[in-house]
Structure 1
């Protein structure tokens, strides 16, 4: 039986993150390309889950993250870029990143959207140097029929997060501890 040192384990985890990030557009810059990805993600979500149209209409702004890549082998992390839209017009671009340590192995990609339901929540997000997903957000999961339930639409949470389009080998996707930072693409 071969023993793997901690240093080897960390190197493998870092290499896995680097490889997973290659398909994430990390090296690709450009607002036009990022806006095109956001458009495609928005259209996908609104067509697959029609109830999200009402959710978007009730929100004061939406942060669209079209592609998050998450990988881990003991040590893991995720990264992605997206756009904040108000009235479906891009006003800022953001990156999202998180790190984790624990029992994990694999990689996955997913998309998510943060619906800001109050002007105060949106203002706090835009003013911060680095906003972290916290307890004031509510997670909403569409049912298998493609519906967003009534409690989501009538929620008093200042931020509603939707995670969708998961593909990969890690079970589930979490935004806990994800930090959002304004960028210039």
Structure 2
């Protein structure tokens, strides 16, 4: 017997919420602590991270984006936008997918705004979708385990990593980022 699509989505949302645990509705203090930790790990583990962050006009950090799926999948995370090293707003990222998938994973995402106009457009939006409202280049590691700076000619670049380092060949297209109030 098949489960109706709306009911399946509710089941998936409940499973994702259970997997994500404290990531849902975290306080701004907790989000800031997690963002600090994610940035520190990024700087420690990824060669060239300090140079990239120094060029940034804004940095959107999602310390934990959790994804789960059984046929239909979803992901969710909360983070903070830092400008000049200070948190200026809080955001969530969410996306859904359909296709063969089973399991769960967590990762960190750092989206770096290298162009003031791109940051301004992001902050003025009411829900920003990667691939629709802006193109975001996902940066990979170059030789020697450092950031491939040839990809830093885009107005917005992203780094996706876990506790094993920068993740390869990922797309953030379809992720919707919305401001949350904490």
Q: 1:136 to 1:19 in 2, by over 3 A?
A: same
Give how far 1:25 is off. 1.9
Q: Write the distance in 2 (CA, Å) between the matches of 1:183 and 1:132.
A: 15
Q: 1:106 to 1:144 in 2, by over 3 A?
A: farther
My pick for the range that moved more, 33-42 or 155-164, is 155-164
1:105 paired to 2:116: no
Q: Write the distance in 1 (CA, Å) between the matches of 2:181 and 2:12.
A: 28
| Match of residue 119, structure 1, among 94, 116, 120 | 116
5+ residue gaps in structure 2?
none
Give how far 1:175 is off. 1.6
Structure 1 consecutive aligned stretches of length 4 or more whose deviation exceeds 6 Å: none
2:24 match: 26
Give how far 1:101 is off. 1.0
Give how far 1:18 is off. 2.9
* Superimposed CA distance per residue, residues 73-101 of structure 1 (whole angstroms, 9 cap, x where no aligned partner): 11111000000001211111101111111
Give how far 1:143 is off. 4.7
* Superimposed CA distance per residue, residues 30-56 of structure 1 (whole angstroms, 9 cap, x where no aligned partner): 211110000000000011013011111
Q: Write the distance in 2 (CA, Å) between the matches of 1:116 and 1:156.
A: 11
2:39 match: 42
TM-score (norm 2): 0.86
2:81 match: 84
5+ residue gaps in structure 1?
none
1:151 paired to 2:121: no
CA contact (8 A) 1:75 1:104 kept: yes
1:139 match: 138
1:180 match: 177
TM-score (norm 1): 0.85
Corresponding residue pairs, total: 175
Q: Write the distance in 2 (CA, Å) between the matches of 1:27 and 1:90.
A: 17
Q: 1:166 to 1:13 in 2, by over 3 A?
A: farther
Give how far 1:156 is off. 2.1
